[in-house]
Amino acid sequence: MLLVKRKIIKSLAVKCTLTALMAFPLGGCAADEDLNNQAPATISAEAPATTEGEQVAAETTAVEVPVQDPVVVAQTRDALLAALPAGVTLKFMPELSSVYTTSEMKSLWEDEKVQKLFEQQLAEMALAGIQPQFGQWAKLLTQPEITGIAKDAVLSDALLGYMHFVEGVKANGNRWLYNKGSYKMAAPSVEMIGQWQQAVKDGSSDKFIQSLAPQNTFYSKMHDSLKPLVEDVQPWPQMTLAKQSLRPGNSHKDVPVLRDILTRSGLIKGDAETTSHNATAEGETSAPKKKVSLVYSGELVDGVKRFQQMYGMETDGVIGNTTREALNMAPQTRAAILALNIQRLRLLPNSMDHGIFVNIPDYSLAYYVNSELILESRVIVGSVKRKTPLMSSALNNVVVNPPWNVPVRLIREDLVPKAKRDAEYLKRAGYTVYSGWGKGATVVDPSTIDWSAGGNYRLQQAPGRSNALGRFKFNMPNDDAIYLHDTPNHRLFDKNMRALSSGCIRVNKASELANILLNEVGWDDNKIQNTLKRGSTTYANIREEIPVQLYYMTSWVSNSGTPEFRTDIYGYDSAAQEGIKELPQVEKLLR
C-alpha cells in the first residue's frame, strides 16, 4: 500500500465545532438544487427519523478536531492522484485528501464484507438512474485496473456521494425521486463524514454502511428480488398483436411467444420442445420439434391472469394493449423500476403498521392500527392533469354531510363551461353561487351572471346524496387542500384505471371508514344514521390524530416474495430508463 510520510508537527489540538473551517473544508449538507428540474406535484415531507448516531452527533456541540497541516494534506492529495490510473478523477478530492490525511493513507475498506455491502447499495443507486455519477462509480469499481489504494479511494469517493443522498433525501426526495432529471450532487456534512471516520476507527463500518440502506421493512425482499431480474440478460420475447386483443380461445401467431414469456417469468412450467425462440448452435442438427399450438387457452390463460394480478390489472385473461406492454417489459427494465422504488422507501415510515396509507398508482387504501389491518379499500386518485400530491399528514376530523366549496380551478375549467351551455345547470346540481369568498358575500342568481365577463364567484354545493363529496369527508391539514372523501358515484370503483379525480382521494369504503372513526369518538350507529338523515353538516374531531401517508410506489415485493408492478400513471419512473444503461456493472456488483 502506498504510504505518505507524516510530517511531524506540534500536537496543537483546538476545540472547535464540527463545522469549523479546516485546511480542506469537508463541504455542507445542504443540497444545491437544479431549479430546472421541478417535480410535477406539490409535496409535504415528514421530518426524518433520527438514528442513534445522528442523535449523538446532534447533541455534540463541540469536539476536539486537530488542525491539519496544509502541506501534509497537499501531499496526501498528490499521493491519491498518483495512485489513480490515467483519466480517473475523484469527485470529492478536497474531502478525501483530508480524510486520508487523518488515516495516514491507510485503507478505509480493509474488510471485504463491508466493501461488498456498500457495493450492493451502490449498485441499487446506479440502477435507479437518479444520478449518473453513481453509474460512473459502479463502472470504475468493475474495471480490473482499479486496485489497491485507487479502489479504496474510489469506494470512499462513492460513499461521500451516497452519504449526501442519504442525508438529503428526506427533505428533497420528492424532487430527486419523482423527476425527469438528475439532482445536483454535493459533499455530505462534516458531521456525517465524522461518523464514518469514527466507525472505521471503531471497527463498526459494517453497522454504519447498513444504517445507510433504506430501513423500511420492505427493503430486504426488494433487495433480494433485484439479482434474478438483473441476471436475466437473454433477449426478451416480444408480442406484437398490434391494436387487437387476444382473448381466451383465440388463435394467434404470438401464442408461442406468450408461452416463452410466461415460462421465463415463472408463471407456467417450461417445455423445451414447445419454446419457439431457442436456436441451435451452428453445425448442430436440431431435433424434430413438437407441433406448437397457436391457441390461447388452458395454462396460458391462467398464467396471464396471475401476471395481471402481479400488475394490479383486471384478471380477465384478455391481453389488450396494457397487458401486452407489461408482458413485453424485459426483466432488466423491471429491475431498474424496482431499484428506483427501493430508494422511494426512504420517504416512508420504517414500519408501515399504524395509520392510513394510500398508494396512488395502486389505487388502494390500507388502515392499520398497531400492526392490525383494520380496513382496505379501493380509491380514486387525481388524474394525470390534476395529480394527487405526495404528502405526510394526519387525519383530525370527520365531516358528516359535508358541503363542497368548489376550488377556483374547477369552477373555471369544469363548471363555467357547463353554466354557459345550460343556465339552469348549477341550480339543478345543487350549487349556490356567492358574489365572492369573503364573509360578506351574497347569494347570486346564476342565470343573471355573464360568465364570459369573469368574476370571483364562489360556488358551494349543498350537502346531500348528489354532493360531489358524498356523505363523509376526512380532513387532514396540508397546503394543497387535499382530503379523503366519499362519492355519490361508486360505479367508478369498478374501473381498473382510477386516476379520475381532481386531486383528492375518493374512498370506496368511506362509510366503513367513517363508522370506524366515529365509533372511536363515542358515536354509535344510531347517532351516525340520525345525523345522515337530518342532512345538517356536523364535525367530529378525532381524539388522536391518525397519520396519513399519500405515497407513490410502482413496484414492491409481496409477502409471498413475488415482485409486483403498477402502471406509472404520472410518469415518475423515467429515471429508471437511465438506470438500465448501468446493467453490466450493476450485475457484477450484485454478485
Nearest alpha-carbon partner for 364 in 173, 554, 515: 554
Q: Which of 51-60, 406-415, 516-525 shows the lowest per-residue confidence on average (mean pLDDT)?
A: 51-60
Q: What is the mean pLDDT of residues 554-576?
A: 95
Q: With 50 as the cut, is the pLDDT of residue 8 above it?
A: no
For residue 241, what pLDDT is reported? 81
Q: For a pLDDT cut of 90, what percent of the chain falls above it?
A: 78
User: Does residue 561 sit in helix, strand or coil?
Assistant: coil
Torsion, Cα 509 511 516 518, to 10 degrees, reads 150
For residue 452, what pLDDT is reported? 86
Rounded distance between C-alpha atoms, residue 186 and residue 204, angstroms: 25
Could you report the per-residue pLDDT of 158-188, keeping only the tens digit for each? Answer: 999 999 999 999 999 999 999 888 999 999 9
Q: With 70 as the cut, is the pLDDT of residue 285 above it?
A: no
Strand 372-382 and strand 364-369: pairing? antiparallel
Q: For a pLDDT cut of 70, what percent of the chain falls above it?
A: 85
Active-site residues: which are they?
485, 504
Q: Which residues pair with 358 in a beta bridge?
A: 365, 550
For residue 539, what pLDDT is reported? 97
Could you report the per-residue pLDDT of 314-353, keeping only the tens digit for each? Answer: 999 999 999 999 999 999 999 999 999 999 999 999 999 9
Nearest alpha-carbon partner for 507 in 385, 367, 314: 367
Q: With 80 as the cut, is the pLDDT of residue 278 above it?
A: no
Torsion, Cα 396 399 404 408, to 10 degrees, reads -10
Q: With 90 as the cut, is the pLDDT of residue 74 above it?
A: yes
For residue 66, what pLDDT is reported? 60
Q: What is the mean pLDDT of residues 7-15?
A: 31
Rounded distance between C-alpha atoms, residue 465 and residue 532, angstroms: 10
| Counts of helices then strands in the chain (DSSP H, E) | 20, 17
Q: How far, in Å, are 20, 94, 282 from residue 101 at the CA level?
A: 17, 11, 58
Taking the model in full, what pTM does it have?
Answer: 0.85
**In degrees, to the nearest 5, what angle opens at C-alpha 159 toward C-alphas 132 and 195?**
145
Asked whether 176 and 156 are in contact (CB, 8 A), the reply is: no
User: Does residue 172 sit in helix, strand or coil?
Assistant: helix
Q: What is the mean pLDDT of residues 406-422?
A: 92
Q: Which residues pair with 246 in a beta bridge?
A: 319
Q: How far, in Å, are 199, 409, 460 from residue 427 at the CA level?
A: 70, 20, 11
pLDDT band for position 242 (cuts 50, 70, 90): confident
Place of cell 437518479: 130
Choose between 98 and 55: higher pLDDT.
98
pLDDT band for position 23 (cuts 50, 70, 90): very low
Q: How far, in Å, are 110, 130, 160, 276, 339 from residue 192 at the CA level?
A: 20, 22, 9, 55, 24
Residue 448 φ/ψ, nearest 5 degrees = -95, 0
Q: With 50 as the cut, is the pLDDT of residue 48 above it?
A: no
Q: What is the mean pLDDT of residues 196-224?
A: 97
For residue 68, what pLDDT is reported? 86
As to burial, measured by CB atoms within 10 angstroms (0-12 exposed, 13-18 middle, 19+ buried), residue 11 is: exposed
Q: With 60 as the cut, is the pLDDT of residue 253 above it?
A: yes
For residue 527, what pLDDT is reported? 97
Q: With 50 as the cut, is the pLDDT of residue 20 above it?
A: no
Residue 72 one-letter amino acid: V
Rounded distance between C-alpha atoms, residue 274 and residue 256, angstroms: 8
Q: What is the mean pLDDT of residues 386-396?
A: 97
Residues of each domain in the chain carrying CATH 1.10.101.10:
231-277+292-341+557-589
Nearest alpha-carbon partner for 493 in 380, 332, 578: 380
Q: Which of 391-400, 446-455, 536-545 shows the lowest per-residue confidence on average (mean pLDDT)?
A: 446-455
The Cβ-side half-sphere exposure at 23, using a 13 Å CA radius, reads 20
Torsion, Cα 297 303 304 308, to 10 degrees, reads 150
Q: With 70 as the cut, is the pLDDT of residue 362 above it?
A: yes
Mean of the per-residue pLDDT values for the chain?
87
Could you report the per-residue pLDDT of 317-327, keeping only the tens digit for each? Answer: 999 999 999 99
Rounded distance between C-alpha atoms, residue 394 and residue 474, angstroms: 10
pLDDT band for position 271 (cuts 50, 70, 90): low
For residue 129, what pLDDT is reported? 96
Could you report the per-residue pLDDT of 459-511, keeping only the tens digit for each? Answer: 999 998 889 999 999 999 999 999 999 999 999 999 999 999 999 999 999 99
Q: With 90 as the cut, is the pLDDT of residue 556 above it?
A: yes
Q: With 70 as the cut, is the pLDDT of residue 198 above it?
A: yes
Q: What is the mean pLDDT of residues 251-269?
A: 95
For residue 307, what pLDDT is reported? 97
Superfamily holding 231-277+292-341+557-589: PGBD-like superfamily/PGBD (1.10.101.10)
As to burial, measured by CB atoms within 10 angstroms (0-12 exposed, 13-18 middle, 19+ buried), residue 80 is: buried
User: Does residue 555 sit in helix, strand or coil?
Assistant: strand
As to burial, measured by CB atoms within 10 angstroms (0-12 exposed, 13-18 middle, 19+ buried), residue 437 is: exposed
Nearest alpha-carbon partner for 392 in 352, 357, 354: 357
Asked whether 327 and 311 are in contact (CB, 8 A), the reply is: no
